[in-house]
């Protein structure tokens, strides 16, 4: 079928709304009419050349309505509202032990540009176009594997839910599924974007005593307070490590580093108390530390967390329920854009004017 998609043709070029051909779903796949899609930092990194091969249709925080299902699909049916999340095989040892986020085929299935069976679902002028995260949701329709889809409550605005599939899942899941802090403990969250602020809301739900947010933008720090932060620190104005240790009487039990910036990663380690744990979720580079002084002698833990260590079919419905109960108001992060304004959505996210852009594709 012919659909409209935002096609990335070359590194650092604007996306182009163009007609492409989408194949029918195979036995283990579904066809989804895309209603809206979140814009994520990983999409931007892909435009910069760190993703699927060009040309590609990006988008990996899709939300839509099931139109067709393949013969072996039993988890959803036509008419269901769904959120699309990351792709995983469902067959390797990681998937079979509940760690789908660390599937042995993660890189291939999410960034390799092809479907699970190694073929392409999108073509333009008979040439193959790469898919992204197994969904390519910057498009009017998507074909995805049954593992990508999460059935969600029809009572909630579907256009709002796409970001639950990646960024918001990552922040909240890192708290709830990976770190699992005890009530009354402390956490420092570095970066007040969608991932960091989702972690704030999750930490509040879990009853932490100190929820400290570090960022450079006062507007984000103010929103962090509104969402549950007990303390906020502007990294340009204070000695972050010193302030955190004073607030917590020695350092935080837990931390989440979302920026990927080398100096901030080091701060996140230094501000931990003895035996503290920091989860690094931001895409960063080389970091030089003194292993003995910074980690070993105080028994600190530095871990990496992918997709919030979440099983999407479990974690995303849980977040929707928290949202309905007023405990997880992630709608405060979102600004909507029309499909034709998708490049503006990327720009606004890049400069910090919008925390979580969501592109409306269909009503």
CATH number at residue 11: 3.90.180.10
Q: Could you give the number of structural domains in the chain?
A: 2
158 and 219, same domain (yes or no): no
In a domain, 324, yes or no: no
Six token digits for residue 3: 């659909």
Containing H/E element for 236? none
Q: How many residues does the chain have?
A: 363
CB-based contacts of 293, cutoff 8 Å, min separation 6: none
* Tokens 């699970």, located at residue: 116
- Residue 352 lies in domain: 2-165+329-360
74 and 142, same domain (yes or no): yes
In a domain, 323, yes or no: no
Q: What pLDDT does 352 receive? A: 87
Cα gap 290→336, rounded to integer Å: 44
Cα gap 79→195, rounded to integer Å: 30
293 and 333, same domain (yes or no): no
Containing H/E element for 159? helix 158-161
Q: What pLDDT does 284 receive? A: 81
In a domain, 37, yes or no: yes
Q: What pLDDT does 363 receive? A: 63
Digits of tens for pLDDT over the chain (363 positions)? 999 999 999 999 999 999 999 999 999 999 999 999 999 989 999 999 888 999 999 999 999 999 999 999 999 999 999 999 999 999 999 999 999 999 999 999 999 999 999 999 999 999 999 999 999 999 999 999 999 999 999 999 999 999 999 999 999 999 999 999 999 999 999 999 999 999 999 999 999 999 999 999 999 999 999 999 999 999 999 999 999 999 999 999 999 999 999 999 999 999 999 999 999 998 888 899 999 999 999 999 999 999 999 999 999 999 999 999 999 999 999 999 999 999 999 999 998 899 999 999 986
Asked if 142 and 136 count as a contact pair (C-beta separation under 8 A), the reply is yes
The domain spanning residue 208 has which CATH number?
A: 3.40.50.720
152 and 186, same domain (yes or no): no
7 and 156, same domain (yes or no): yes
In a domain, 318, yes or no: no
184 and 257, same domain (yes or no): yes
55 and 183, same domain (yes or no): no
* Tokens 């980690």, located at residue: 295
Containing H/E element for 81? strand 81-84
Instruction: Using alpha carbons, select from 8, 96, 82, 1 the residue that is nearest to residue 45.
Output: 8
Cα gap 249→57, rounded to integer Å: 49
Cα gap 142→127, rounded to integer Å: 18
CB-based contacts of 20, cutoff 8 Å, min separation 6: 2, 3, 4, 5, 7, 57, 122, 123, 124, 129, 139
């Amino acid at each position: 079928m012919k659909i409209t998609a935002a096609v990335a043709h070359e590194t650092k070029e604007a996306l182009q709304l163009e007609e492409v051909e989408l194949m029918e779903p195979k036995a283990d796949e579904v066809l989804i009419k895309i209603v809206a899609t979140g814009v994520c930092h990983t999409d931007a990194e892909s435009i910069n050349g760190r993703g699927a091969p060009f040309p590609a249709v990006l988008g990996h925080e899709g939300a839509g309505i099931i139109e067709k299902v393949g013969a072996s699909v039993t988890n959803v049916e036509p008419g269901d509202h769904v959120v699309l999340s990351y792709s995983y095989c469902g067959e390797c040892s990681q998937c079979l032990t509940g760690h789908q986020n660390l599937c042995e085929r993660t890189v291939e299935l999410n960034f390799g540009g092809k479907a699970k069976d190694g073929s392409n679902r999108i073509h333009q002028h008979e040439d193959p176009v790469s898919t992204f995260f197994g969904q390519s949701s910057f498009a009017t329709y998507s074909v995805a594997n049954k593992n990508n889809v999460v059935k969600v409550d029809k009572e909630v605005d579907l256009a709002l839910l796409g970001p639950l599939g990646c960024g918001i899942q990552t922040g909240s899941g890192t708290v709830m599924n990976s770190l699992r802090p005890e009530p009354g403990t402390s956490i420092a969250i570095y970066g007040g974007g969608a991932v960091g602020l989702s972690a704030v809301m999750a930490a509040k739900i879990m009853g932490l005593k100190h929820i400290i947010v570090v960022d450079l933008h006062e507007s984000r720090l103010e929103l962090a307070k509104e969402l549950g932060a007990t303390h906020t620190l502007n990294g340009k104005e204070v000695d972050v490590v010193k302030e955190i240790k004073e607030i917590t009487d020695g350092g935080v039990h837990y931390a989440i580093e979302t920026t990927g910036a080398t100096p901030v990663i080091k701060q996140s380690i230094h501000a931990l108390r003895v035996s503290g744990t920091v989860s690094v979720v931001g895409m960063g580079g080389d970091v030089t530390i003194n292993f003995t002084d910074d980690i070993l002698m105080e028994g600190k833990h530095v871990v990496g967390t992918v997709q919030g260590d979440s099983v999407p079919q479990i974690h995303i419905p849980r977040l929707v329920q928290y949202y309905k109960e007023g405990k997880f108001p992630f709608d405060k992060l979102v600004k909507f854009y029309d499909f034709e304004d998708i490049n503006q959505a990327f720009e606004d996210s890049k400069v910090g004017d919008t925390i979580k852009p969501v592109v409306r594709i269909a009503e």
